[in-house]
Chain A
Amino acid sequence: MSPVDGAGISNPNLPVDIAVTKGRVPGRSEEQIPELHEVDCPPELRERIEGLMARYPDRRSASIPALWAVQERYGWCTPDGIRQAAAVMRFTPADLESVASFYDLLHTDPVGTHRIEVCTNISCWMRGGDELLDAFVAAGEGADVHITGFECLGACDIAPMASIDQRYYGPLEAAEAATAIEQLNAGADVLPDKALAARPLAGDTPPPTGRNREPESRNRPIDGEVRGG
């Protein structure tokens, strides 16, 4: 038998596109990944993320650094920013949001321009970390600053302490909270003499001569951590 209309019409005269993609991510569903033209990624951000991916044997390793880059660009990991990073990295936005939401320093909700993390963990708590946090929260009222209590920041030697825009300061007095916020608002150097960087090694300092102040006696309610500011 032979077909009636136009036997074996084929269309070979358009070029064949070939893509060889060694180094693939097995099976990722391309359908779920936004395409670059849909996300409007600023070129600097795109280049930066591509540079980050190039540092690792597997591009996925760049997801935390890429999210840092998004956060730097937009102030927090905005859904649009995550989509942009996902399009550049070729992962689903959900992949990246899942990562971002795991880590305390990556914010998936809006936060202020400045960020202050006040340690309220054991050593800082013993030395007034809670009061310090309260002082910061009070001083930061209305300012463009995101203030949170935080778990141990690895600086118990300067307890009670806080990390202000990713730099450590301590030991801090409650009164210094307001100073720090004023300095932040004014764009000035924050508490220069309380910066960790300026501190000598413990054993190189003379024994303390300070007086001993009696602690305030009270029973603070400590359920419900103070989070956000």
Chain B
Amino acid sequence: MADPRETRVLLEHAEDPALRTIDGYRGYGGYATLEKAYREMEQDEVLKELEDSGLRGRGGAGFSMGKKASFLPRGEMAKYLCCNADESEPGAFKDRELMQRNPHQLIEGIAIAALAADAGHAFIFIRGEYAEQADILDAAVAEAYEAGYLGKDILGCRRDLELVVHRGAGAYICGEETALLDALEGKRGNPRLKPPFPAVQGLYGGPTLINNVETLSNVPKIVANGAEWFKGFGTEQSPGTKVVSISGGVRRPGNYEVELGIPTRELIFGLAGGPEPGHEIKAFYPGGSSSPVLTPAELDLPYSFEAMGEAGSMLGSGSIIVADDRVSIPHMALRTARFYHHESCGKCAPCREGTNWTVKMLERVVRGEATPMDLDIISSVQQNIIGHCLCVLGDSMAMPVSAMVNKFRDEFERVIAEAGMPIAIVQGAPEALGAAT
């Protein structure tokens, strides 16, 4: 059963496979909030509840969900809601869990958020790799249509909502909200210039609310129990619970739902079991691969948007990747850079060429074909990327790579000097860690 250090709100009953079905979900009180919202609440009431709750986006940027919804202009024009289920950042796998185990919670959240946004058409943009979860969602959406929670004239309240599960086809950049819109419009997933922001001019040129799976999954609970209830969890600036994905060098990787503000050490050591016996933590990404790495000295920080920000990193999507003492940081930097290089959409020059050049330089570093001066160039190139790109994908590589070079410069120099010497970079064999299954 759940560890007492967890606070399961979104993952409540998640161990029950029946939760996936509409009957199972309703058995735990599901869709009651949708009925209440559609029958009894006005758009502004729903909006107010969401704004008051202080719910911050769980997709990375941590922007207030209610506020974003309130930015949508009012009027007759078609408005849209997009659920961002592209989850492709290394280290993040919480949305997968939420969709797989509790799809109806997300659908209910979408339906209520659509009320707040006055949207008549909603889409779940799910990464193409999550075929299993997309199948589950398809089935759940069909059930919800059947039950009259979606479609025309929902519950006889004269409101319509069409919901389409749209599968992507393998491109991390589609998680960026404007790239998601282009991809959903059937184009290459390139980010758009902002402004205009999607809230004003998004999908098909109409006002569009875009939120993460976890953000939207919170909506039914907030509307059911009220903003005050929600604020009872977490910290003042980071209210609520958070599903945290923990992976890498820990004994029990997985998703854990905790109150925001819990000490980071509690997450990594308490819940995820800490590093393998005999090993120590060398560094960790606190919020996915785009967050600048932190060191063990920062393990006691509260896990919240504000504390991670103050530490020069970010909570991001809430995904912790732990690197223990066997991991070569330069190699990890290279893995990280390679990811962004592979995923850069290529539209803007600093990201396209910056990620490519960084990878080439880091490859030289691990091959021992670099000099310490190259490390300065690597750092400088990261500075040349930051703030100059069209979207933040470029920065997402530059920030962690820059942090690694700065915080672990000795190790980079050592790797350059000792290239060709055996260096442990592969951490553990799977069977050592596979007991969890």
Contact = CB atoms under 8 A, between A and B. Distances in A.
**Are any A and B Cβ atoms less than 8 Å apart in their complex?**
yes
Interface of A: 55-58, 60-65, 67-68, 98-100, 102-106, 117, 120-123, 125-128, 130-131, 151-160, 163, 166-168, 170-173, 193-194, 196-197, 199-205, 207-213, 215-223, 225
B24 to A, nearest CB: 16
B336 interface: yes
B279 to A, nearest CB: 8
B96 to A, nearest CB: 5
Contact of B78 (A57, A122, A159): A57
B90 A151 contact: yes
Given A152-B89, A172-B430, A121 B339 contact: yes
A107 to B, nearest CB: 10
A202 B127 contact: no
Given A166-B131, A202-B436, A156 B248 contact: yes
A79 B215 CA distance: 40
B437 A155 contact: no
Nearest to B289: A122
Contacts of A212: 276-278, 428, 432
A154 to B, nearest CB: 5
Contacts of B252: 202, 205, 207-208
Given A194-B437, A201-B15, 5 more contacts: A55-B164, A126-B427, A166-B132, A203-B6, A217-B423
B129 A171 contact: no
Given A125-B335, A207-B252, A225-B338, A201 B204 contact: no
A204 B2 contact: yes
B260 interface: no
B261 interface: no
Contacts of A205: 252, 254, 436
Contacts of B170: 103-106
B431 interface: yes
Interface string B406-437: 00000000000001111111111111111111
Contact of A99 (B186, B257, B271): B186
Contact of A102 (B189, B323, B420): B189
Given A155-B93, A212-B432, A64 B188 contact: no
B273 interface: yes
A56 B301 CA distance: 46
A170 B436 CA distance: 11
B396 interface: no
Contacts of A197: 100, 132
Contacts of B26: none
Nearest to A193: B437
Contacts of B78: 57
B101 A201 contact: yes
A222 B366 contact: yes
B166 interface: yes
Interface residues on B, range: 35 or more
B280 interface: no
A167 B131 contact: yes
A8 B431 CA distance: 91
Contacts of B35: none
B97 interface: yes
A202 B171 CA distance: 27
Nearest to B87: A154
A205 B183 CA distance: 38
Interface in B313-347: 319, 321, 323, 326-327, 331-332, 334-336, 338-339, 342-343, 345
B168 interface: yes
Contacts of B101: 201
Given A122-B91, A202-B436, A222-B334, A103 B425 contact: no
B351 interface: no
5 contacts: A152-B339, A154-B95, A170-B430, A215-B427, A219-B423
B437 A157 contact: no
Contacts of B335: 120-122, 125
B184 interface: yes
Contacts of A126: 248-249, 323, 327, 426-428
Contact of B247 (A62, A100, A156): A156
A218 to B, nearest CB: 6
A198 B117 CA distance: 37
B129 A153 contact: yes
A160 B88 CA distance: 16
A197 B90 CA distance: 20
A59 B92 CA distance: 32
A201 B426 contact: no
B430 A157 contact: no
Contacts of B319: 156
Contacts of B331: 222
Interface in B93-143: 93, 95-97, 100-101, 121, 127-132
A157 B187 contact: no
Contact of A213 (B90, B100, B423, B432): B432
B363 interface: yes
B14 interface: yes
B339 A151 contact: yes
Given A123-B91, A213-B429, A223-B367, A203 B169 contact: no
B253 interface: yes
B254 A68 contact: no
Nearest to A224: B363
B323 to A, nearest CB: 7
A156 B363 contact: no
A120 to B, nearest CB: 8
Nearest to B249: A126
Contacts of B100: 197
